[in-house]
Amino acid sequence: MNNNPLLQPYNTAPFSKIENKHFLPAISKLIAETKSEIDAITSNSEAPTFKNTVEALENTGEKLERATSIFFNLNSAETNDEIQKIAQEISPMLTEFSNDMLLNEALFERLKTVYNQKDSLNLSEEQQMLLDKKYKAFSRNGANLSEEKKKELRKIDAELSKLKLTFGENVLAETNKFELHLTDKKYLSGLPEGVIEAAAQTAEEKEKKGWVFTLDYPSYVPFVTYADNRELRKKMAIAFGAKGFHNDALDNQQNVLQIANLRHKRANLLGYKSHAHFVLEERMAETPEKVKSFLNELLGKAKPAAQKEFDELTAFAKELDGIDRLEKWDGAYYSEKLKQKLFNLDDEKLKPYFELKNVINGVFTVAEKLYGLHFEEVQNIDKYHADVKTYEVKDDEGELVAIFYADFHPRAGKRNGAWMTSYKPQQIKDGINDRPHISIVCNFTKPTASKPSLLTFNEVTTLFHEFGHALHGMLANTHYPSLSGTSVYWDFVELPSQILENWCYEKETLELFATHYKTGEVIPMEYVEKIKDSATFLEGMATLRQLSFGMLDMAWHGSDPSGIKDVKAFEVAAFDDTQLYPDVKENCMSTSFSHIFQGGYSAGYYSYKWAEVLDADAFALFKQEGIFNKKVADRFKGFVLSQGGTMDPMELYIKFRGQKPDPEALLKRAGLL
């Protein structure tokens, strides 16, 4: 135990010293230590005060928090069978511990005493928010329940923690299990040279002849976008859409039903009508009714445009290849062909200008111009994989702002998608501003023998998106870790990420980093114009797709799911208003919808669209004053990026913008007005 690196003092995560065997004993010991810290609060004979109860509670479990963030980040970015097995043990332990704390009567009584005196305590706005959050964490999670109901709640939470893990493990296993192995060159028709080279490299790694395509995004997306062979596109699309839907050991249908039902039962137990009612009480949107009316309002605006675009795409496919009925595996392929025809622009033309190394420098330059941040790659910070890059982030005065980790390429032990996370939160304690350690994880095309990593434009916006989240974490400047950085209402958390994507479409930004990887030539102006012109290409269909995900999420979580027997049939009904393509009977989205069944987006998927309203409105101010205008950037940093969850998000937004967000800004940008 003494030589367990997770129990020794460390500043940055000691990845190279950690072995899998260290996790369970370390986390068990740190849970016990945190329990002792809580006992010290409840056994304090002095009357409860803000300092000896609320602040004391905020300061418990710091080491536990850090150890678990290391563990769960590895379980997403560099996992293996052993780590997954450990996760199945650790998750229920943490859930039980969380319940022990939230259902601790003595602790809640002390909190309640302070909460009931809050008006006379002369607290700062941030202290008031902390007290409010702590009190609600208890009252919303069963502190007022009877003993019998508390027992029931514990049982539900333990089951949920295991089910969510199993769901994610099944999706990852399904992703890794499938491969399309081709040995005849004729099947590669239409595929760009870089994609073919990457597939040859994958085949070589798997000790096979020919080419191997997988369900990892950098392999899957180009295949269904460019492969001329319709049957093979179909095979890939069906495999991608059928993850967790094979009635086998990796099937997720029962997991989905159990998760939805347990969440509903939990919400009822706590006095809420549904899981969505429970979740949305702590969101800007407030109620499921508001979310549904928000989604329906956008649907009303987007559907006619989407239908018109779909009809045009269908006509185009018929004219080009005599296709009578457009299927899901045709969408990306003919969209790309139509885009090339209309704008004479395709990703393959753009990719040479988006070398990963340059795009990283580009996003760093944007952060420097807006917020005075300087990134220096350093080699003395421990990492969990050779692919990971580590940076020190400093301000204009040379003071440390953050440690930044970036992990860019797919691997077998890494789940699909892109996300931002933190290894250490920011806080101001005892007069010291303790700076955060922030990480982003993506899945971009790997370099090949002949080419560096070249990104599609979509991958460029993904990098900017995750980096926007990272800035929210890095620029945090609050006293309490639970209010710091991205610890904000879920439908506000996407504002910093989504607003940064806007810079990718601006000439001033592209000229900073979009240079040809061979010649160094800056991206031609005509390409920049085309990127801007094509930004709203098929935007109606894209909006409808996002709305369909939000509506499916609300369908699962907004009412009683106990009558649902057939996951697929339920999903088809939920998609009814947003469906353009014919349904594919072999496919089911819910069984791999990790955002809502494994991640934290349950009853919250709408927040991407909600935050788009905020980001379109906020960026309109940057456009008006200049995209690198220091005054506007200072306001955004001062009122949004640095404030975390210290105030109501709408108040923060109004302080930055001077007004409430205008939904028209989004519709205008999307070309839907």
- Given 58, 65, 174, 466, which residue is catalytic? 466
What is the SS3 assignment for 335?
helix
- From residue 326, give the alpha-carbon distance in Å to each of 183, 208, 315, 332, 447: 28, 34, 9, 11, 34
| Tokens representing residue 514 in the block | 């979009």
C-beta separation of 69 from 61 below 8 A = no
258 CA to centre of own chain: 23
Query: What DSSP string describes 54-122?
Result: IIHHHTTTHHHHHHHHHHHHHHHHS--HHHHHHHHHHHHHHHHHHHHHHT-HHHHHHHHHHHHTGGGS-
Q: Give, in degrees to the nearest 5, the angle at Cα 263 between 259 and 266.
A: 140
What one-character DSSP code corresponds to residue 51?
I
What does each C-alpha distance from 489 to 102, 265, 601 come to in angstroms?
Answer: 20, 24, 12
The span from the first CA to the last CA of the chain, in angstroms, equals 63
Number of Cβ within a 10 Å radius of residue 625: 14
CA distance 79 to 61: 25
Sequential DSSP letters for 193-260: HHHHHHHHHHHHHTT-SSEEE-SSHHHHHHHHHH---HHHHHHHHHHHHTTT-SSSTT--HHHHHHHH
In the chain, what's the furthest Cα-to-Cα distance? 82
If DSSP codes are grouped into helix, strand and coil, which group holds residue 425? coil
Give the three-class secondary structure for 527: helix
Whether the CB-CB separation of 327 and 313 falls below 8 Å is answered with no
> Length of the chain, please?
673
Give the distance from CA 234 to its chain's centroid.
28
3-class SS shares of the chain: helix, strand, coil, % to 5:
60, 5, 35
SS3 state of residue 442: coil
Structure tokens at 434: 């303790």
Cα–Cα distance list, 242 to 170, 214, 215 (Å):
12, 14, 11
Tokens 């009635």, residue?
A: 247
**What is the rounded (10 degree) CA torsion for 50, 54, 55, 57?**
150
- Mark whether 466 is an active-site residue: yes
Q: What type of residue sits at position 400?
A: L
Task: For residue 506, give the 3-state DSSP assignment.
Answer: coil
Tokens 């290391």: give the residue: 70
Residue type, 393: V
Dihedrals φ, ψ of 286, to 5°?
75, -45
Residues catalogued as catalytic: 466
